[in-house]
Structure 1
Amino acid sequence: MHELYVSPSGDDAGPGTSQRPLATLTRARDLIRDLVRDPARDPIRDPDGGPARDPARIPARAPERDAPVVVHLLPGTHRLTETFELTEADSGVTYRGGDGGETVVSGGRPITGWDLRDGVWLAEVGDLETRGLRVGGREAGRAAIDGLPGTAVRTATGYVTDSAEPRNWGNPADVEFVLRGVYPWTEARLGVAAVEADGEATVVTMTQPAFGWAVELYNSVVPWEGGGESYGPGLPTRVENGTGFLTEPGTFVLDTSRPGRHVLRYRPRPGEDPGRTEAVASALETLVRVTGAHDVTFEGVTFADATWLRPNRPEGFLHYHGTGYYDGGPIEKVSFGEGAWVTVPAESLTIPANVVFEDAVRVTVEGCRFTRLGATALRFSGGTDVLVRGSVFEDVRGGGLTVTGSRRVRIENNLVHDIGLEYSGSPGLAVAGGEECTIAHNQVNDVPHCGIVVGPGRSTRVLRNLVFNTLKVLADGGGIYLSGPQGGSHDDGAVIRGNVVRDTLTPYNFALYTDYGAAWVTVEGNVVQRADNTAVLRVSPPLENVVLRGNLWDAAPVGWDDPPPGVTVEGDVVAADEADFASRAAGVVALAGLEAGHAHLRDGLPKDGRRT
């Protein structure tokens, strides 16, 4: 085995031994590449180094190494100033952390040199853009107010209010409107361009093209109780990042009014001192990107302190559903019966991830932690033979883990909680377009929308997961949500088995939700408790070849006594009362969620799921 050691206090001029470790992941990667190029001269074993081979002699395809390579990431914070990139040439390497302490791979930038003015800390940070700040080990929130002050109406270019308060917000271009519930499953973010007085009124002009796109995108008619007509964005539910909002301790604002001389403002919590309290701003958008590599493993590593800056742009964040958002282009009108319709993007983009694997083969991510991240935490696209096990996803602004177009993926014994903190449509775990993907024995709790999402695919298995406290913010989703065709028969279709789904919170939800033309799906042996609705069987496009078998409910699924064509209900049971439910559910509950060898991941989580 070839071994390299990397320490935050190391030296890249050293040999990378345990006694003289390197300082950066990049230097370790480059030394390993040299090893592949010239196996006869092993730079890892040669402390004296020496000149590299002529690049012209490097083969187009790197040969296999004669032994595994392990890079030991020693405890401490390994700060990245650029994305750590791995390609096919970097195959066959294990990056191992957590030996005697936490190993953090961070995209954060320490903030120092604070001035104190009127109880607020100020630091000039150059051209830094960020949406996340951690002070004294705790997350700081973006300063905000609830809604647009005064009596306000929407106009062709923004809003008008009879309140003068917006004139004191600070630099208008820094301010962002949050529009929750444009659709029940949607939360958009739009920037402000200008704030001007018009007599006693205040005119708020919104950034283009985002506002114009929003007017075109968000239109619907739902002609039944609880519905109505909606055309374009309504009033904001929250307004963020104005210097005039900085009243609550533990909040911050980034002031970009002077190009290249941005100022970070922070109102401290009691006991915090600008000279002694560490402050770290999330700076990088992508921490790690692995493209086309094979046999790559990350073990015991914490990935932290990354951001995502798309909402800051003139295009804004025109959220539609899940992790999808609109970026211009055609808009379609979708009808779903009884005169109801909604306009949707013909195509959408997906919130990116801070740790990315593309077309990678035989990848393992085990015992890792993903936290303080500004987008989706981890994403696999393409590739095959992937294992994500025993990892924790928490305090993430986007989703936990997304898999698209991959084969033979296992996601097992992971803890996912408190994600979607900024992008509320984000699911805990999601797979789509894949084949032979298995999601088993995970715990997913305290998420703003769906817990587990399965898009179209083949041979997907969702087995013995514990999912609770979902749909805490947005509506029209499920603890487990599945849509689209899942195969060509029940032999290669989707199986949803042995899961416990409880406490699906927001009204207008379905704990087990088969939706939008789901086909070749078997839903069996699951337990559902305390949901606004347990399941729905009549959707548009209709369900086909969907079987519900032997599930236990504390309330009857909508329409289960008269299922539509394409749906079969066999042996499902509605419990008579709580005692009956507990007795019947005990066997399934005992096997769902984290297995015994991974129960330690819940350490520090009280029974309601949230970390202390």
Structure 2
Amino acid sequence: MFHFHVAPFGDDAWPGTAERPFATLERARSAAREAAGEAVVHLRAGTHVPAGTLELTEADSGVVYQAFGYGTPAQEEAVVSGGRRVTDWRERDGVWVADVGDLDFRQLYVDGRRALRAGIPGLPGAASPTVTGYVTDSTEPRGWRSPGDVEFVYRGVYPWTEARCGVAGVSADGDSTVITMARPAYGWAAELYNSTWEGQTSSGLGLPTRIENDAAFLSEPGTFVLDRSRPGRHELLYLPLPGEDPGRTEVVAPVLETLLSAVGARNVSFRGLVFADATWLRPSRPEGFLHYHGSGYYEGGGVETAVLGEGASVTYPAAWASIPACVTLADVAGVEVEGCRFTRLGASGLGVSGGVGVAVRGCDFDTLSGGGISVSGGRDVTIEDTWVHQVGLEYSGSPGIAVSGARGCTVAQNEIADVPHCGIVVGAGEGVRVLGNLTVDTMQVLADGGGIYLSGAQGSSPENGAVVRGNVIEDTRTPYNFGLYTDYGASWVTVEANVVARADNTAVLEVAPPLEHVVYRGNFWDADPVGHDNPPGGVTYEGNVTLKDERELNAATVHIRSRAGLLRPRDGSRTVRF
């Protein structure tokens, strides 16, 4: 076994020993590739900033990347960061200003805190949509200093969506102000968002619910704006919090979009590392971010219509893309991610696509613009003992954990808390098991989802169908949700021995397309599911218990609650419940 060391104080001309470590991850990767056998790369304490995405391939198979002292009380904190520190501030009317060249980013971190982009709650004046944008009787938009950087946010076009679309320009038309929106996003939105519900028809984005990123919006301390009106001479503006000092405050702008990409690698491990400070620039382009559901968004290509009942329908994308992850594993085998933290990232945290035998254990995901973990395809993926919280901070449809198209995936003993939409999402797949998870405070922003949400075919028989067992789902917040939600043609699903409390609705048995071969057995709730008194033909509903008194429900479900959630306490030590 070969051991190499890399440290921020090192030198790539050194041999990579503990006493004389390398300086860069790229040099350590090369040394591990050249070694004639398995290797461990030890990352010493501090911030490691790769020059670009750290790319691993089959040539890197058999290598372990870990924090120095991993698994011992002396473990060091090693951060792999895609950020750049912003310095050389000057002050202008109480605002800190820095020239950042051609850097482009959508997030900013001040002493580790995620700063918000400056914004206002909506269009001023009496405003109305047009085919090219908006017209308002207010002159305020004419005072926007960099209209081409302004972004409109649309929460609730559908109850489960939140879109973003940029401004192309602002002009005067007599006493009115004309706002022209960026295309193709604004035109695509007119295709995508069309619905009929209870006699009401809507089309397009409607009025924005929030407007972001212009110096004219800088009124709230702790917010920032990136002005890109001068190409190659971008300017960052930050309105400090009381007591902050430009000489002592660390301000980091995330620059890389992907921190690490492993393609085709085998038997690689990542242990005890912190992945931080990355962005995602796609929503800032003229295509915008036309969110549909979960992590999915529209890129053109046409729409289809879903009929939800008599006189009710919505259009949806014929095809869509998904929010990417800042750390990606594609077509890998035997890869382990253990004890790592994913934080301050501008997209999703970890993305697994294809491959076999990936294990994510004992990790933390927090302060993410997108979701925590996404699994697309592949087989035998395990997500266990992982804490996902404070995610979806910019893209509110993002789930904590999402699995789609996978075979034999296990999502067990995780805790998902403080998320804007679904906690765990399972799309069509085969043999997925969702076991002993705890979800708390889900569905905080958007509607029509649940603490655990499944849709589509989950197999072809009880032997290879999905199992949802032993989970505790509490405090599913917004109206119009179902704590435990089998939706949109879910089939071959067994839902048993779960606990649901304090949801708008505990579950629903009648959906469109209908459920088929779905069994609800031995669950505990504080309210009857919708349709429990007359289950449809595709649903077996048996042995479930409704206890409306919270004390009675808690007492009856101690055996389930004691086994749900993390296997480790929050201090990082491990306590196995089973």
Q: Which residue of 1 aligns with 2:114?
A: 139
Q: Partner amino acid for 1:85?
A: E
Note the residue ranges of structure 1 that are not aligned, 5 or more in a row.
40-64, 604-612
Q: Deviations over 1:477-512 (max 9, x none)?
A: 010000011111111100000000010001000000
Q: Deviations over 1:39-62 (max 9, x none)?
A: 4xxxxxxxxxxxxxxxxxxxxxxx
Question: Structure 1's 148 and 408: CA in aligned 2 closer, same or farther, altered over 3 A?
Answer: same
Q: Which residue of 1 aligns with 2:47?
A: 77
Q: Partner amino acid for 1:103?
A: A
CA contact (8 A) 2:44 2:68 kept: yes
C-alpha displacement at 1:344, in angstroms? Answer: 0.7
CA contact (8 A) 1:106 1:303 kept: yes
Matches within 5 A, 1:360-375: 360-375=332-347
Q: Which residue of 2 aligns with 1:608?
A: none
Q: Partner amino acid for 2:67?
A: G
Q: Partner amino acid for 2:47?
A: T
C-alpha displacement at 1:219, in angstroms? Answer: 0.4
C-alpha displacement at 1:421, in angstroms? Answer: 0.1
Q: Is 1:600 aligned with 2:575?
A: no
Deviates more, 1:330-339 or 1:420-429: 330-339
Q: Partner amino acid for 1:314?
A: P
Q: Deviations over 1:554-602 (max 9, x none)?
A: 000001111001100110000142222121121111110012x344259
Query: Which of 465, 481, 500 is residue 472 of structure 2 equivalent to?
Result: 500
Q: Is 1:567 aligned with 2:567?
A: no
State the secondary structure of the residue aligned to 2:559: helix
Q: For the residues of structure 1 that align with 2:235 and 2:311, how far apart are their CA atoms? A: 51
Q: For the residues of structure 2 that align with 1:95 and 1:129, how far apart are their CA atoms? A: 29
User: Normalization by structure 2: what TM-score?
Assistant: 0.97
Q: For the residues of structure 2 that align with 1:17 and 1:222, how far apart are their CA atoms? A: 67
C-alpha displacement at 1:164, in angstroms? Answer: 1.0
Question: Structure 1's 576 and 122: CA in aligned 2 closer, same or farther, altered over 3 A?
Answer: closer
Q: For the residues of structure 2 that align with 1:424 and 1:219, how far apart are their CA atoms? A: 20
C-alpha displacement at 1:98, in angstroms? Answer: 5.3
Q: Which residue of 2 aligns with 1:199?
A: 174
State the secondary structure of the residue aligned to 1:467: strand
CA contact (8 A) 2:89 2:96 kept: yes
Matches within 5 A, 1:352-367: 352-367=324-339
Q: Which residue of 1 aligns with 2:267?
A: 295
CA contact (8 A) 1:415 1:601 kept: no
C-alpha displacement at 1:137, in angstroms? Answer: 2.5
CA contact (8 A) 1:184 1:474 kept: yes
Deviates more, 1:273-282 or 1:345-354: 273-282
Q: Is 1:460 aligned with 2:435?
A: no
Q: Partner amino acid for 2:6?
A: V
Q: Which residue of 2 aligns with 1:580?
A: 552
Matches within 5 A, 1:250-261: 250-261=222-233
Q: Which residue of 2 aligns with 1:23?
A: 23
CA contact (8 A) 1:80 1:108 kept: no
Q: Which residue of 1 aligns with 2:72?
A: none
Q: Partner amino acid for 2:536?
A: P
Q: Which residue of 2 aligns with 1:95?
A: 65
Q: Partner amino acid for 1:240?
A: E
C-alpha displacement at 1:199, in angstroms? Answer: 1.8
State the secondary structure of the residue aligned to 1:587: helix
Q: Which residue of 2 aligns with 1:162?
A: 137
Q: Which residue of 1 aligns with 2:161?
A: 186
C-alpha displacement at 1:200, in angstroms? Answer: 1.9
Q: Partner amino acid for 1:180?
A: R
Q: For the residues of structure 2 that align with 1:120 and 1:191, how far apart are their CA atoms? A: 24
Q: Which residue of 1 aligns with 2:403?
A: 431
Q: For the residues of structure 1 that align with 2:168 and 2:20, how far apart are their CA atoms? A: 53
Q: Which residue of 2 aligns with 1:484?
A: 456
Q: Partner amino acid for 2:29?
A: R
State the secondary structure of the residue aligned to 1:365: strand
Matches within 5 A, 1:43-82: 65=37, 68-82=38-52
Q: Which residue of 1 aligns with 2:302?
A: 330
Q: For the residues of structure 1 that align with 2:281 and 2:342, how far apart are their CA atoms? A: 19
State the secondary structure of the residue aligned to 2:380: strand
Q: Which residue of 2 aligns with 1:9?
A: 9
Q: Partner amino acid for 2:172?
A: A
Q: For the residues of structure 2 that align with 1:577 and 1:276, how far apart are their CA atoms? A: 53
Q: Partner amino acid for 1:125?
A: V
C-alpha displacement at 1:81, in angstroms? Answer: 2.5
State the secondary structure of the residue aligned to 1:236: coil
CA contact (8 A) 1:223 1:338 kept: no
CA contact (8 A) 2:32 2:41 kept: no
State the secondary structure of the residue aligned to 1:536: coil
Q: Partner amino acid for 1:319?
A: H
Q: Deviations over 1:110-160 (max 9, x none)?
A: 111111111111111111100111122222110011011111000010001
C-alpha displacement at 1:324, in angstroms? Answer: 0.5
C-alpha displacement at 1:80, in angstroms? Answer: 2.0
Q: Which residue of 2 aligns with 1:473?
A: 445
Query: Which of 358, 373, 376 is residue 348 of structure 2 equivalent to?
Result: 376
C-alpha RMSD of the superposition: 1.2
C-alpha displacement at 1:230, in angstroms? Answer: 1.1
State the secondary structure of the residue aligned to 1:385: coil
Query: Which of 148, 151, 168 is residue 176 of structure 1 equivalent to?
Result: 151
Q: For the residues of structure 2 that align with 1:223 and 1:602, how far apart are their CA atoms? A: 53
CA contact (8 A) 2:527 2:548 kept: no
Q: For the residues of structure 2 that align with 1:350 and 1:579, how far apart are their CA atoms? A: 42
Q: Partner amino acid for 1:32?
A: A
CA contact (8 A) 1:124 1:262 kept: yes
Note the residue ranges of structure 2 that are not aligned, 5 or more in a row.
70-74
CA contact (8 A) 1:413 1:598 kept: no
CA contact (8 A) 1:331 1:346 kept: yes
Q: Which residue of 2 aligns with 1:125?
A: 100
Q: Which residue of 2 aligns with 1:442?
A: 414
Q: Partner amino acid for 2:226?
A: L
CA contact (8 A) 1:518 1:543 kept: yes
Q: For the residues of structure 2 that align with 1:177 and 1:476, how far apart are their CA atoms? A: 23
Query: Which of 185, 195, 198 is residue 223 of structure 1 equivalent to?
Result: 198
CA contact (8 A) 1:392 1:601 kept: no
Q: For the residues of structure 1 that align with 2:114 and 2:555, how far apart are their CA atoms? A: 42
State the secondary structure of the residue aligned to 1:547: strand
Q: Partner amino acid for 1:154?
A: P
Q: For the residues of structure 2 that align with 1:602 and 1:209, how far apart are their CA atoms? A: 50
Q: Which residue of 1 aligns with 2:242?
A: 270
Question: Structure 1's 98 and 189: CA in aligned 2 closer, same or farther, altered over 3 A?
Answer: farther
Identity %: 62
State the secondary structure of the residue aligned to 1:517: strand
Matches within 5 A, 1:508-519: 508-519=480-491
State the secondary structure of the residue aligned to 1:4: strand
Q: Partner amino acid for 1:310?
A: R
CA contact (8 A) 1:449 1:472 kept: yes
